[in-house]
Amino acid sequence: MKILSLASKLSLQSPKLVGEFENDEIMVISPLDDNIKAEFIKCEIGAISYVLALIGLEFGFSGEFWDELDEGELSGESNIGEEELPQICQFIKNCDTCIISDEIFAVNESSIKAILSLLQAKFGFKIVNLDGDEVALSGKLTRLKEIPNYDNAVIFTHSCCNEFRAGSYFGIAAKLKNGDEITIHSSQKELKAKLLIDSNIKGTIGFLGFEGAKYGFEVLKFSR
């Protein structure tokens, strides 16, 4: 089977699905790396709506919404270029299942749901959540809002463990070193955390886990 994952980090968010699809062909579209066997297409944080809009244009979807799109802007802002887009579209043509997760709806939720529904109707794949349950999406095509600015150090919040872990580039961007204790002012809650530098984590996105956390990206805000 061919599995398209739009989840940010599937191994963290759903080990169950990783195990279920370990022998299948997986394509991941995400801003994060992952240690699963898959073909990875890297996009910017919060840019799934732009990626899906590009896919729709590539498949010839038409109408007022599509006519107003600027393909060059979508490509530049999402970091999906002329090489990646045909790869994605070819995969979707024979896709069996698309995995979604809540954080991909943070920007342009209604349009994301609408485009995924159009693609599902055209190609017949299932859409499942992180529990593996099939879901039905309903949305309207509305003018796409700009992607938020995620400059500097960014955190991905989750509830899989109580830990603040990031790579060395994150430490440089945030001007933090291994073992630093800080108070993080997350949009979800304020909490104290000790940074653990992990050399296996690349880029400037760190991982903040705490009980009750929702999956999501935000620029790191903290005080010492």
- Give me the half-sphere count of Cα atoms (radius 13 Å) on the Cβ side of residue 53: 30
The token pair at 115 is 């485009």
Q: pLDDT > 70: what percent of the chain?
A: 100
Return the pLDDT at 148. 93
With 90 as the cut, is the pLDDT of residue 154 above it? yes
pLDDT in tens, 87-138: 999 999 999 999 999 999 999 999 999 999 999 999 999 999 999 999 999 9
Return the pLDDT at 151. 86
Burial 70-108 (b: 16+ CB within 10 A, else e): eeeebbebbebeeebbeebeebbeebebbbbbebbbbbb
With 90 as the cut, is the pLDDT of residue 156 above it? yes
The model's pTM: 0.96
Distance between CA atoms of 44 and 105, rounded to whole angstroms?
Answer: 14
pLDDT in tens, 38-63: 999 999 999 999 999 999 999 999 99
In three-state secondary structure terms, 111 is: helix
Q: Chain-centre distance of CA 9, in angstroms?
A: 7
Burial 148-174 (b: 16+ CB within 10 A, else e): eebeebbbbbbeeeeebbbbeebbebb
Token pair 């955390």: residue: 193
